[in-house]
């Protein structure tokens, strides 16, 4: 647990670096464009289809008629867009995770390795194409699981439980593989993911819980219908920021674990001194300002 918290504190400090902030904008711009095109082309048809699906459901249809009789005739018009957004957001989150994994994670891992582990050998354990294929397959599986579990979301606690659990598992699988892909051999990666499965899953679930906040805004606030474009942009940026934090968190934790693993198994002696002074790394002590004294005679 100490190693997990240490990695988290380091990741929070790194998130304030201008380079990390700049990297978080790239996925945001790509997903904003995708979201805008889909909204412009299919929003009205999608809302109409969701309203028809609500009317065709016997249970929901009866509930909507009861609400209309109680003086809430426009509740159906509000409910349909909210459910549609709740269904689309998981797909956008999966796309965001893939973008982060393929564009941001390698850059952030390289940043952490250069500043904290300059002597850690890069053993090129997995090619880039396999990382892409693996991320796509796992993301598709996560989306299928979420879509199949959507009827359970009508039970209030499940809406806050299922997405973080699924995203936590996905983050653990994708981030762990991508962080270690350039530095660890397949045997080292399998050993680390097996021996650190508990902490890695806890980190993934915690990241999923942090990423559930933007979805909660969409699910529980009818005001988002008025401010839909602004809230969508803010939500995707929050997701991207959480994924950037997750990448840094996994990088700090797993690269440190890999270094300890090699010292224990190979007796490899690594230079603990960083390659350069890093003011964002809390582990680096401040340089001494006291004047040097001449040697005693």
User: Residue 258 above 80 pLDDT?
Assistant: yes
Average pLDDT over residues 207-232: 62
In 3D space, the residue among 246, 159, 152 whose CA is nearest the CA of residue 208 turns out to be 246
Average pLDDT score over residue span 74-100: 67
What is the model's pTM?
A: 0.65
pLDDT of 233 higher than 70 = no
pLDDT above 70 (res 17) = yes
How far is it, in rounded angstroms, from Cα 167 to Cα 142? Answer: 7
109-125 pLDDT tens trace: 999 999 999 988 888 77
For residue 8, pLDDT beyond 60: yes
Confidence of residue 294 (pLDDT cuts 50, 70, 90): very low
pLDDT digits (tens, 9 = 90+) for 171-217: 888 888 888 988 888 889 889 988 998 899 889 888 877 766 666 65
Mean pLDDT of 68-73: 60
Three state DSSP letters for the chain = CHHHHHHHHHHHHHCCCHHHHHHHHHHHHHHHHHHHHHHHHHHHHHHHHHHHHHHHCHHHHHHHHHHHHCCCCCHHHHHHHHHHHHHHHHHHHHHHHHHHHHHHHHHHHHHHHHHHCCCCCCCCCCCHHHHHHHHHHHHHHHHHHHHHHHHHHHCHHHHHHHHHHHHHHHHHHHHHHHHHCCCCCHHHHHHHHHHCHHHHHHHHHHHHHHHHHHHHHHHHCHHHHCCHHHHHHHHHHHHHHHHHHHHHHHHHHHHHHHHHHHHHHHCCCCCCCCCCCCCCCCCCCCCCCCCCCCCCC
pLDDT for position 297: 40
pLDDT at position 227 is 61
Backbone angles phi, psi at 71, to 5 degrees: 100, 20
Packing angle of the helix pair 75-99, 58-69 (nearest 10 deg): 130
Q: Domain residue spans in the chain?
A: 2-266
Give the model's pLDDT for residue 150.
80
- List the structure tokens of 46: 């999608």
Mean pLDDT computed over every residue of the chain: 75
SS3 content of the chain, % helix, strand, coil (to 5): 80, 0, 20
**Distance of alpha carbon 50 from its chain centroid, rounded?**
28
The pLDDT of residue 160: 72
């Amino acid at each position: 647990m100490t190693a997990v918290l240490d990695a988290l504190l380091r990741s929070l400090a790194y998130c304030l670096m201008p380079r990390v902030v700049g990297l978080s904008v790239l996925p945001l711009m790509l997903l904003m464009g995708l979201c805008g095109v889909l909204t412009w082309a299919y929003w009205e048809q999608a809302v109409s289809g969701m309203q028809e699906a609500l009317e065709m459901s016997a249970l929901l249809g009866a509930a909507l008629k009861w609400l209309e009789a109680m003086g809430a005739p426009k509740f159906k018009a509000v409910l349909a867009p909210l459910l549609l957004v709740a269904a689309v957001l998981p797909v956008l989150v999966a796309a965001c995770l893939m973008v982060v994994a393929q564009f941001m994670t390698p850059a952030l891992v390289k940043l952490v390795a250069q500043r904290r582990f300059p002597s850690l050998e890069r053993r090129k354990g997995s090619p880039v194409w396999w990382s892409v294929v693996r991320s796509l397959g796992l993301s598709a599986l996560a989306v299928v699981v979420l879509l199949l579990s959507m009827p359970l979301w009508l039970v209030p606690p499940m809406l806050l439980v299922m997405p973080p659990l699924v995203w936590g598992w996905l983050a653990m699988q994708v981030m762990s593989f991508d962080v270690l892909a350039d530095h660890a051999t397949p045997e080292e990666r399998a050993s680390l993911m097996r021996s650190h499965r508990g902490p890695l899953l806890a980190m993934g679930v915690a990241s999923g819980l942090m990423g559930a906040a933007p979805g909660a805004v969409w699910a529980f606030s009818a005001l988002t219908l008025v401010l839909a474009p602004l809230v969508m942009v803010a939500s995707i940026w929050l997701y991207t920021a959480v994924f950037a934090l997750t990448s840094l968190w996994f990088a700090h934790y797993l690269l440190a674990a890999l270094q300890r693993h090699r010292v224990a198994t190979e007796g490899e002696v690594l230079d603990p001194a960083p390659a350069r002074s890093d003011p964002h790394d809390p582990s680096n002590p401040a340089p001494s300002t006291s004047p040097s004294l001449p040697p005693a005679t």
